[in-house]
Structure 1
Amino acid sequence: MNTEQIRQSVREKWLTYYAENRQWLSRLGIWVNCDGQRRPSSGFILATLSVLEPRLAQLLPLVVDLSNNPDRIVMALGLNFNPEDYVNTIAAQNGKANKTANGAVRMLPAALNEINIQASKLPKKAPAQIDEDCRGSRDRRD
């Protein structure tokens, strides 16, 4: 089993999942500041990836035996970054290909008008503004 392949796979699956669900993930109270990076909490990332990547789900019991610090695990997987930055970069690179007839950038699989919900009737929600610190509940070293 190649660890670089697993890292690449979980990174791609995480970014795809985030891009497809960013409308609600950006507002969910799961955001933390960890090592200078704003990102969803390690627990949320690991739980999501354990479903998306079966190879990771098989490795997690061993990894947790080595380190029970979820922030360290996320860092070791190369996922300590703000997924919003990457989604915005990809959207900018694909800008013209993803534009709709009115010039808006299409980022989700279905726009609100495609699923018969009138956007004007939906409440406006802001991204989560309160981030937690990722120090965890214990200050011990693994």
Structure 2
Amino acid sequence: MNIEQLRQSLKDKWLVYYRDNRPWLARLAVWVNCNGQRRPSSSFILATLSVLEPELTAFLPLVVDLNSNPDRIVMALGLNFNPDRALDSMDKGNAIINEAKLLPARAKVIPGSEPVSRVYAKRDEDCGGSGRK
């Protein structure tokens, strides 16, 4: 697998995991703002993906030797994005495709997935948390 395939595989697996676990992840205090993107902390993303993608487990020790900053690793892997926005964009794209095929659009509401306005997180590596100081 080349690096672009790995990046795409990681993004896909992360978004599927996030979509399936969105109700409780949205309330978990792991959210940070990193380079203008609201997302779970780098450590949380990397730990989750190391379980979901076996190739990452073989690749990660080398990456950590080169750069041990989790935020930079997440950025290099193309994972510095807001998963809620990514899923919403995918849902809109699927709705357009479904309408073009004259099929009913997929349901967009996931129970318990309402935006959370009071999520507090600790400072995560280089990125500032979204919580109180």
Fold match (TM-score > 0.5)? yes
Change (3 A) 1:97 1:56: same
| TM-score (norm. length: structure 1) | 0.73
Any stretches of 5+ residues in structure 1 without a counterpart?
100-104, 113-123, 138-142
Q: Which residue of 2 aligns with 1:37?
A: 37
> Cα distance, 1:74 vs. partner?
0.1
Structure 1 residues 67-106: Cα deviation after superposition (integer angstroms, max 9, x where no partner): 000000000000001000011122233344323xxxxx34
Counterpart residue type for residue 76 of structure 1 = A
> In percent, how many aligned pairs have the same letter?
55
Structural mapping, 1:45-124, within 5 Å: 45-95=45-95, 96-99=104-107, 105-107=108-110
RMSD: 2.5
User: What letter is aligned with 2:16?
Assistant: T
* 1:59 CA displacement: 0.6
* 1:125–1:79 Cα change, 3 Å: closer
How many correspondences in the alignment? Answer: 118
Letter in 2 for 1:24: W
